[in-house]
Structure 1
Amino acid sequence: MWPLSTEARIALAQSHSVRARAIVSSPTYGVLTLPISGGSVEVDATSKVRRTASLQADPRWWPRSPTDLLAPYGSTCQVDYGIVLPSGATEWIPLMTGHLDETSRTRPVTGSGDITVKVADPSQRVAEDRLDVPAQTIANAPAVSEITRLVKATLGPQLDVVDETGSGAVASVIVIERERWDVVEKLGDFLASEPFFDPLGRLVIRPQPTLSRSPVWTIRTGNRGSLLTAKDKRGREQVYNRVVASGQRTDGVPAVYATATDTTSPAYYGGPFGRKNRFYTSELLTTTAQCQATADALLARTRGLGAQVEIEALVNPALDAGDVLLLLDPETGETRHIIDKLSIPLTPDGTQSIATRSDELPAET
């Protein structure tokens, strides 16, 4: 969750005004704070491109040439959400930084005539930058430095990188056939981490978030509550209670492996839910310890997928995928949820959609 001042937290709990802005930078046009009349920012931790935005802008900014401000040929955009504080000042929360992906309009004009501008975070650029010929990762290089090298080769040496793993683990040499970002994600799995771009456009490499983290925000029903609706879902799809991670060898040497088993959630292995294994194989895993770390991280991703909640709530623009929420509901009691997806509307009358998962089921009655 993006840090909020005490004044901003108080404002979110009561009626307040909001603002939105998009700062667009073009290689030829320069920098402009683009007036936007609406749109939203979507954050999806399950997608290759984690952050995307769709913005509504005045039709006079329609790009008539490839060098215009809103032409998707190199322009970048930072989208911010403003909380108007009781003092009258505005506290700006960065939502995403990325490249313009598409600009579109509809003619003849029957309504406002606004154009739609779509923005995608830098992972799309890295994914698009496929190798001309196969290459290899550098031998004896730490996995973090290899992730950094592969991404900076696309985005430039000026890219800020935030490593929250503190790992110096060295991965085996692997062949990069074409897909640069796929290898970045594979190296992330090796580190039991997730690489992604944060709201400022920085590359972040952090351990897989889990429900054991402390809640950053409380959503409650009732008087002064922010929860509007909650759609509960219970299912078995994508739920695994054991992960087997193993190495991949072609030299006849037996591959190493390790397992991670769910023994505490309602879907625990061997209980009423049954046994449901997921198998993961990678040439990067050469020791039992590496296999164990990867298995643990993959199990953390799937824990709680069987107990999903789709929430419609009052907007908190500082929330992010991976944050843990505390949900207070008279019917279900107090449960913790980890955010997988969320939407931040850029209009004052919008509400926030949040998709979460939890392995804390309501108490039986």
Structure 2
Amino acid sequence: MRDASARVRDVILDGGLNARWVFDLLYDGDRRLADVPIEPGATPTWDASRFVVAAGTVRVVWDDDAARSMIPRSMSDWFAPFGAELQVDCIVGAGVFAERIPQSRFVITEVPDATEAAMLWDGRLIHPGEAFTLTLKDRLAKVQRDDFPYPTAPRTTSAWSEIQSVTGLPVVRNVSDVTVPATPYEGSREAALKALFDRLDAWPHIDSTGALTSRPKAWPDPVDQFVNVVAAPPRFTSEDTWNRVAVTGRSPDGDPIYSVREVRSGPLRVRNADGTASPFGGATYPYKSDKLATQADVDDYANGLLPRVARVRSQTREVVETFNPLREVGDVATFADTARYGAQLNRIRSISHQGGVTRSIVEVADE
């Protein structure tokens, strides 16, 4: 859950807040332009099923007293998709009270279209008005596009130190460190980062200020309640539910190492007691990592992975509530109205804000 004062939480709970999105342009850590004029209604979305969790598009509407053009035409222009970033915040207030809530740091990855008005004035070409669209992704997009140019040896045996080394991003260590084997990195930097976070039993996550931290795979304790709920229809599906894991590691000599574990009882069992296929059948979750260098590593990972993926929540809800900019993917919350929605825990998988409401897809914990 995003940091905010107790007064902000009270205002959100009361439902009488005013909110305004603010977009600041940054480059190499410097703020080039505060409060970029953005067309109303543009907000990012967050989806925990993606490696790059936060993404979106915004449209800049530019019209200044000097009639300058801000449409990027070269790599060094302010809004060019070659290092420029937007810090997106939400200012929440009621009456004279206001507080700024950081949301995320985004990389500008594309300027897909632009519309401009141009005219001659006193022999000079001026731009009385223009608009252009920016495609935004969180900072993990930089990791995703930057494969290792050649096999690269780890610098340390610390998972967190290697995470910082592999990404070059500022890191917030929010879970205990673990030791990682000295296996060289090769190919995808995204795959290497996922493997390092797997050792921490977590997923990579960009926080609201652009630092890289972890989102633990184990469900944390509840941080809030859904109170001002407009609707929360349930959905039940067998997608993304597995009853067998097949884990592959690699020994220091380069030989593959295998471990398979499967569910043997209950509705998710792979087969019946007599050996015949169960009513649900089999659903195998494959996992490969060169960071698993021994049979014990592979077995331990398979033993921990099976109960996790076999309990990926098949029941979800789309929770529609009054606007709440404090929601964050990975948060666990309960419903205040347990008589209507039940007393189970719910973990937020995706978030979007539309007008005066916040929509969250949540995974519902098993009974």
TM-score by length of 1: 0.80
Superposition deviation, residue 268 in structure 1: 7.1
Identity %: 22
Superposition deviation, residue 169 in structure 1: 1.0
Cα gap change, 1:140/1:21 in structure 2, threshold over 3 Å: closer, same or farther? closer
Superposition deviation, residue 72 in structure 1: 1.8
Superposition deviation, residue 282 in structure 1: 2.5
Superimposed CA distance per residue, residues 35-90 of structure 1 (whole angstroms, 9 cap, x where no aligned partner): 3233011111111211123223314364143233322222111000111045x221
The one-letter amino acid of 1:124's match is A
The one-letter amino acid of 1:3's match is D
| Of 139, 145, 150, the match for 1:128 | 145
Match of 2:34 in 1: 32
Match of 1:70 in 2: 79
Asked if 1:310 corresponds to 2:329, the answer is no
SS of the aligned residue for 2:157 comes to: coil
Superimposed CA distance per residue, residues 129-174 of structure 1 (whole angstroms, 9 cap, x where no aligned partner): 2233x2133276223222211111xxxxxx4211223223122414
Do the aligned partners of 1:24 and 1:32 also contact (CA within 8 Å) in 2? yes
Asked if 1:281 corresponds to 2:288, the answer is yes
The structure with the largest alpha-carbon Rg is: 2
Do the aligned partners of 1:191 and 1:293 also contact (CA within 8 Å) in 2? no
Match of 2:123 in 1: none
Q: Distance in 2 between matches of 1:48 and 1:233?
A: 24
Match of 1:334 in 2: 343
Match of 1:223 in 2: none
Superposition deviation, residue 207 in structure 1: 3.0
Q: Distance in 1 between matches of 2:103 and 2:302?
A: 30
Superimposed CA distance per residue, residues 178-216 of structure 1 (whole angstroms, 9 cap, x where no aligned partner): x21221112222332222211111011353242xx2212
SS of the aligned residue for 1:15 comes to: coil
| Of 184, 200, 204, the match for 1:191 | 200
Cα gap change, 1:260/1:45 in structure 2, threshold over 3 Å: closer, same or farther? farther
Superimposed CA distance per residue, residues 281-313 of structure 1 (whole angstroms, 9 cap, x where no aligned partner): 333222535642565257435624311212222
SS of the aligned residue for 1:188 comes to: helix
Cα gap change, 1:106/1:170 in structure 2, threshold over 3 Å: closer, same or farther? closer
Match of 2:48 in 1: 45
Do the aligned partners of 1:245 and 1:295 also contact (CA within 8 Å) in 2? no
SS of the aligned residue for 2:343 comes to: strand
Q: Which runs of 5+ in 2 are unaligned?
A: 64-68, 118-128, 272-277
Match of 2:93 in 1: 84
Cα gap change, 1:130/1:170 in structure 2, threshold over 3 Å: closer, same or farther? closer
Match of 2:363 in 1: 357
Q: Distance in 1 between matches of 2:132 and 2:279?
A: 53
The one-letter amino acid of 2:20's match is R
Cα gap change, 1:259/1:216 in structure 2, threshold over 3 Å: closer, same or farther? same
Cα gap change, 1:12/1:263 in structure 2, threshold over 3 Å: closer, same or farther? farther
Aligned residue pairs: how many?
339
Asked if 1:300 corresponds to 2:343, the answer is no
TM-score by length of 2: 0.79
| Of 56, 61, 75, the match for 1:58 | 61
Match of 1:17 in 2: 18
Superimposed CA distance per residue, residues 241-290 of structure 1 (whole angstroms, 9 cap, x where no aligned partner): 443535334859894747486989x7577797566443423332225356
Matches within 5 A, 1:171-182: 171-177=181-187, 179-182=188-191
